[in-house]
Amino acid sequence: MKLKKNPKADLTRNSSLYFAIGLCAILFISWQAIEWKTYKKSYAYEALNIDDDDDEEVPITEQLKTPPPPPPPPAPEIIEVVEDEEEVEETIIESTETDQEEIVEEVEVMEEELDVDVPFAIIEDVPLFPGCERVPKSERRKCFQEKIQRHISRNFRYPEIAQQMGIQGRVYVNFVIAKDGSITNIRMRGPDKNLEKEAARIIGKLPNMTPGKQRGRPVRVPFSIPITFRLQ
Q: For the segment 137-155, what is each residue's pLDDT rounded down to a tens digit?
A: 889 999 999 999 999 999 9
> Closest Cα to residue 222, out of 112, 121, 113?
121
Query: What percent of the chain stands above pLDDT 90?
Result: 42
User: Strand 213-214 to strand 183-189: parallel, antiparallel, or no bridges (unpaired)?
Assistant: unpaired
User: Strand 183-189 to strand 221-229: parallel, antiparallel, or no bridges (unpaired)?
Assistant: unpaired
Q: What is the pLDDT of residues 18-45, one digit of tens each?
A: 888 888 888 888 888 888 776 555 444 4
pLDDT at position 190 over 80: yes
In the chain, the domains with their CATH numbers are: 137-229 (3.30.1150.10)
Alpha helices by DSSP H, listed for the chain, are 15-35, 51-54, 100-113, 140-155, 160-165, 193-204
- Residue 155 confidence (pLDDT): 93
The C-alpha atoms of residue 104 and residue 111 are separated, in whole angstroms, by 11
The C-alpha atoms of residue 83 and residue 70 are separated, in whole angstroms, by 40
Stretch 189-208: mean pLDDT: 93
pLDDT at position 47 over 50: no
Q: What is the pLDDT of residues 74-92, one digit of tens each?
A: 665 555 655 555 555 655 5
User: CB 31: neighbour CB atoms within 10 A?
Assistant: 10
Stretch 121-132: mean pLDDT: 92
